Structures are given as C-alpha cells and as structure tokens.
Structure 1
Amino acid sequence: MAETRVLIVEDEESLSTLLDYNLTKEGFLTVLASDGEEGLLKIEEERPDVVVLDWMLPKVSGVEVCRRVRQNVETQNIPVIMLTARGDETDRIRGLDMGADDYMVKPVSMAELAARIRAVLRRIRPALVAETVTVGDIEMDRAAHRVRRGGEEIHLGPTEFRLLDHFVQNPGRVFSREQLLNAVWGSDVFVEARTVDVHIGRLRKALGKHGHDDPIRTVRSAGYALETS
C-alpha cells in the first residue's frame, strides 16, 4: 500500500492533521487540500489513487467536487470517499448519486477509514492493492521487491523500481517528467526534470537486458508511457 496516494480534502485543520497522520501511519502517501477549489486543482495535478472528501467545503462544495471528478474523463475512475456530519439517509443517497464510492459520517474511525480505502481500491483498482502485479510480460512483486520479465529476474535500483511501479499502476498512460517527479520523488523534493530521463534510461536498460523489446514509449513533448502489449 505504500505507493497509494490519498488526497485529503478537508477544511477543518485539526481533522485534516489527524487524517494525514493516521493514513500516513497506515502506509498511504497523503496530499492535502483545504477547500474544494484547491481539491480540484490537486486532483488535476497529483492524480491521486483515492480522494477522501469532506461534504461541506469552502469555495466549491464536496458534492460539486465529486460531480466534476465524475464528469472529467481523465479523473472519472478515481475512487471518492465522502466524509460528512450529515447522517440523514437522503444526504447519503445524494452523495452516492453524485458519484461517491463510499460515505462515512463524522466522527470517523481512522481504522475503519483505512479499511474502506483498501476496500474501494480492491473493487475499483485492484492493481494498487495487489502484492504481485503483471502487465504484459513484466511481473512485479512489491512485497519481495522483485521484478521478472519473461521469467527472467530483473535487478532494479530503488528509484527505477518506484518508476516501474508507477507505470504498472497506469499502463498505457502518458506521464510528463513533472508528473513522474511528483509521483516518484515527491512534490517537496527538488530534482531536475532531466533526472527523470536518466532513470528512465536505466530502467530501459534493465528491462532490455535479456534481449527484450523496450516497453517504455517516449511521446515527444509529452513524456513517457508503459506499453501494455
């Protein structure tokens, strides 16, 4: 679960801090936003694996954020768990009708929230919670930190492993250098974009060591993608 990115959109600072602390302790990578407008921006920039979204938010409401996420073809498959002080069944139904995948009434049990995040990911994006994932002839075992291609062992450095893991979670999708920097190195670490090219080169060399074709496609002026065939 260590590579699963959770966006927390919550305007109450104490609760946001509590959610951040507990979900980080559970092994998730957390990103924070304090209002609906910032939440939409972070969804566009960070492309989280799941969104934990408060119902009542400044600027843009949680329900409206959820509606826009579902309307956008690039974000419509991101799981959304809504948090609210509203326990009324009609409000719950409205949230689910707007596209929320799950709904929790405050005060929230942190252990239950973590369990629901894992459950929704198992339903919607099982590759994120599986220890062993296969894309084409590439097999990754996250628990053992091992990679095989066509049955042959592939030795990767930690950064190359995280790069490949990110590609495997999103096969066929093109990522810019900046998106890869944020996903693999983190948005709070200063690394030059050129560094991505160096590590992509190392990953390509390792994956092609036994005579295999290069599975990473370079998209001019756009970035890189992992081919699925």
Structure 2
Amino acid sequence: MIYYVEDDSGIRELVVYTLNQTGLEARGFAEGQAFYVACAERKPDLILLDIMLPREDGLSILKRIRQDASLKSVPTIMVTAKGSEYDKVRGLDLGADDYIAKPFGMMELVARVKARLRAAGGEKGAAVLSCGALKLDSRRHEVTAGGRPVALTLKEFALLELLMRHPGVAFTREQLLERNWDYSYEGGTRTVDVHVQTLRGKLGDCASLIQTVRGVGYKLGG
C-alpha cells in the first residue's frame, strides 16, 4: 500500500489513479491528520509526501514519521517544488529516501516508486553482520561499535550495510550513489564523501574499517 499526502486534489487523484493502474495499491490524503489515522489502521509500504501542505507541512510530517517506531523504516519520497534545493536537502537530512520535483511525469514517478519498493526489500543474506568490533543487525536496525550502540540515519545505515555485505569490494562513489540513492543525486558524488565522513565520526575506533580506495571510492576492510 502506498500513501500519498497532497492537498491538490487534481494531482493527488491522478497519481493515485496511475499507481493503481500499474498494479500498485495507493490511497491519497489531503492533509496530515487523515494520513496519521490511516497509518494507525494499516502501515504503508511507501509514502509519497508533498512539502507544501495546509496546517502541517511535509517536512514536519516526515520528522514525525522518522520518530515513530512503527513508521521510521517506511521508505518516503518527498515531492518538492522545482528548483527548491533547500527543501531537498532538508528532506534528505530528516531521513527522506528520495525526492521528485514538480512538475513530474507519471512514468518517472512510477519508476522512482518501484525502485524504492525494490530497495526496501533489502539485500539478501544474513541479518547480523560483523567486521571486527563492528556489528550490524539489519532486522533490529541496530549498529554497535566495540559494544557501544551507534545511532545512524537511514542513509548512513544503508551505506554501512552495503559495505558490510561486500567486505573487501571497492565501490566507486557513483556506484554508492546508485545503490544507496537509486539514481544520480543532483548534489553530486560529494554527498557520498560527506556521509562517509559523518559515518566514520560515529563509529569511533571502528572508523578505520571504512577505507578510502584512492582514485576509486570506498570499501570495508580490516
């Protein structure tokens, strides 16, 4: 089930109709309160969230989603105004998995939604991964470094999980963007370096496990 929060009835109905026609079950909501009620009744598989909404804007709703234990892992795509870089950055910082700018084509929207649903299935393999003193539990969404719990954002967790599932494999920055963001993020490959830097800062003594491969990108070693 896909939930779409959008106050413009024309856009909302078109998107819901298109998703349903492509075999994806979808429901639309004009504002946050109706959306929260629906989430209490049935947890969605993905959320499409417009930023400009009455009473409570999309960024505030996103923040509440990421603080809700039952919803924080639900992939969320923000719908932003064209050229609004600040909104895109804020959304990603608050835990959005992707964004799409208005006006958008229905084919692009469906492709983005399907990509996020595929990604939400996660990598196949063990639930608990370890490398030295670094451990990651994908089911509990927990990371410990030297026995110490580490709080990570969704993107940091996904990036670390990808590296830990492929120890010793050197990923280029472009590959990490495609795997972790599902497309070439407009911020460029610099966003990968920033996420790696903040991730290392949180891992303490385990930071050295994420190695820079000169001229390539990053890998997990040690």
Under a length normalisation based on structure 1, what TM-score does the superposition of the two structures give? 0.51
- Tell me which residue corresponds to 1:61: 57
Counterparts of residues 30-41 of structure 1 (less than 5 Å): 30-41=26-37
Determine the C-alpha separation between the residues in 2 that align with 1:86 and 1:37.
26
1:4-32 CA-to-partner distances (Å, cap 9, x unmatched) read x1101111000011101111111111112
Do structure 1's residue 29 and structure 2's residue 34 form an aligned pair? no
Equivalences, count: 125
Between the aligned partners of 1:59 and 1:125, the Cα distance in structure 2 is 33
Q: Which residue of the other structure, out of 2, 8, 16, is the alignment partner of 2:4?
A: 8
Provide the rounded CA distance (Å) in 2 between the counterparts of 1:88 and 1:57.
Answer: 15
Q: Alignment identity in percent?
A: 38
Change (3 A) 1:86 1:40: farther
Q: Output the aligned Cα RMSD.
A: 2.0
| Ranges in structure 2 where 5+ consecutive residues have no aligned partner | 125-138, 140-222
Whether contact under 8 Å (2:82, 2:103) holds in the other structure is no
- 1:120, distance to aligned residue in structure 2 (A): 1.1
Instruction: Give deviations 1:147-203, integer Å, cap 9, x for gaps.
Output: xxxxxxxxxxxxxxxxxxxxxxxx9xxxxxxxxxxxxxxxxxxxxxxxxxxxxxxxx
Where structure 1 has 5 or more consecutive residues not aligned to the other structure, the ranges are: 131-170, 172-229
Aligned twin of 1:91: 87
Q: Residue 85 of structure 1: CA displacement?
A: 1.6
Deviations 1:34-84 (A, max 9, x none): 112222222222211001111011121111111111001111110111112
* Pairing of 1:1-229 with structure 2 (within 5 A): 5-126=1-122
Query: Displacement of 1:86 after TM fit?
Result: 4.4
Contact 1:37 1:59 in 2 (8 A): no
* Alignment TM-score, normalising by the size of structure 2: 0.53
